[in-house]
Amino acid sequence: MRSPEEKPTAENAKSAEKNDFSATSAVSAVRPFFVLLGKEWRELMASRAWWVLLLVMGPLVGVSFISAVRTYAEASGLNGTAVGVGEAFSPLVGIWAPTFSACELAAAFLLPFVAIRVVSGDRQSGALKIELQHPMSSFARVGAKALVLLAGWFVASLAPAAAVLLWRSYGGSIYPPELATVVLGHLLNAGLTIALAAAMASISDHPSTAAILTLTVTVGTWIVNFVAAIHGGVWERAAAYTPTAMVAEFQHGLIRLDVVLIASALALTGLTLAAIWVRLGVAVRRRVFDSAGLLAVAAAAMIACTFATASWDTSESRANSFPEADEAALEQVRGSLHIQAHLAPEDPRRSDLEHRALSKLRRVMPKLQVQYVSATSIGLFEQNSPHYGEIWYELDGRKVVSRVTTAEGVLEAIYQLAGLTVPVESDAAEFRGHPLAVPPKGAATVFYRLWPALVAGAAFLEFRRHA
């Protein structure tokens, strides 16, 4: 009599066959994607637009970095300037923000042409029709292009990375959290640009049309910022999620969860829209309906993201936060604080109030309600109004009025309203800054000579290899 171990089991054979088939199918599904990645990378390397982006990136970063270092050095006492001014200087504002602003310019005016070239190249050559015969999802095709474009952006980001190394060689201070925040902001901005360009290139029939549409959307975000500065209100809240405002916050060391979620949702929406329109075999009517449904879902998701209130101040100087003693005192305030400011959108005092005090106050008191009241946009003819310039604070039925727009004035009014004593600030917690009176030695050689030579040499070898 056979033991149970000796009995042939058909079930085990079928199970083993099924597992082998599943593993083979998984490998078969992954392998074409990597093949597609290689093909897209070769397309990127053959793109003249990408080489132009690389060539221009070095001098762009060089101009910003050299100017920033010179200004920083002069403020720190170089060449007999006022010694001690640089004690309040932070590399985040003095070096990283202006240096990485070159990435913002490149993402707005150069990266879209690279993305459009990569996405629309297959469509123009007819290779897309051949690729669509392979059983691969359209989102995987667009995702492969997006990954390659992000890899290309990382290569272009070697220019600001060289600036970081130069700053370190000068003896400059580097605070990793704030530098990582700046990099994250520009990475999200590049992702938004790639997604937008991919969507426009997939919808339009010609690359020039896609470029015009992409530039139109970019200019539209600038118009939103301009209108927000004049009218405020809903426009001001919408402008807070434009790429320009997003990058500005990251460059000041502030990470807001709602901004990160909305930027990620916009990028995912753009790539999904590109995946919908890259399906050439699907009727246009069906693609329009799918796009409308996608935009409706994306709008609902982004509205939900605006309720996320978490934020992180990664700046070494705590530029986006009140002193820790004040934050601890504000956390003791119970109830909802309502502030009504009688200031016009273009009044400089409103800008001071918003950026120096209220933006910090919102991080500590998420339930804060702020209302701006004005009859005009500039407030020039409201100066004679008896209530113009007043800032009313209301908490649990108690009201206090003030005209001070500084952070100290706002805190004093809140403490008076809540019946709290003003906390004593510690001198040890005060940020002393990192002055550095050193000129940008060698930076011109790196960005104006070495970088263009390396890029030109690499481009020559690449095009010669495929000639």
Predicted confidence (pLDDT) per residue in 45-64, tens digit: 989 999 999 999 999 999 99
Whole-prediction pTM: 0.85
Distance CA 199, CA 385 (A): 50
* pLDDT tens for each residue of 83-135: 444 445 789 999 999 999 999 999 999 999 999 998 887 776 666 666 666 77
Structure tokens at 409: 């004035």
* pLDDT reported for residue 459: 93
Q: CB–CB of 228/238 below 8 Å?
A: yes
Per-residue pLDDT tens over the stretch 286-342: 999 999 999 999 999 999 999 998 999 999 888 898 888 888 888 888 878 999 999
Could you say which DSSP state residue 448 is in?
Answer: I
In angstroms, the CA 363 to CA 315 distance is 14
CA dist., res. 14 & res. 16, Å (int): 5
The two tokens of residue 47 are 């793109």
Domains of the chain as residue ranges with CATH:
30-316+441-465 (no CATH), 324-428 (3.40.30.10)
Nearest CA to 270 among 199, 190, 343? 199
The answer, yes or no, to whether residue 232 has pLDDT greater than 60, is yes
With tokens 């010694």, the residue in question is 83
Strand-strand pairing, 254-256 and 311-313: antiparallel
Highest mean pLDDT among 205-214, 264-273, 354-363: 264-273
Q: Where are the beta strands (DSSP E) in 218-359?
A: 254-256, 311-313, 337-341
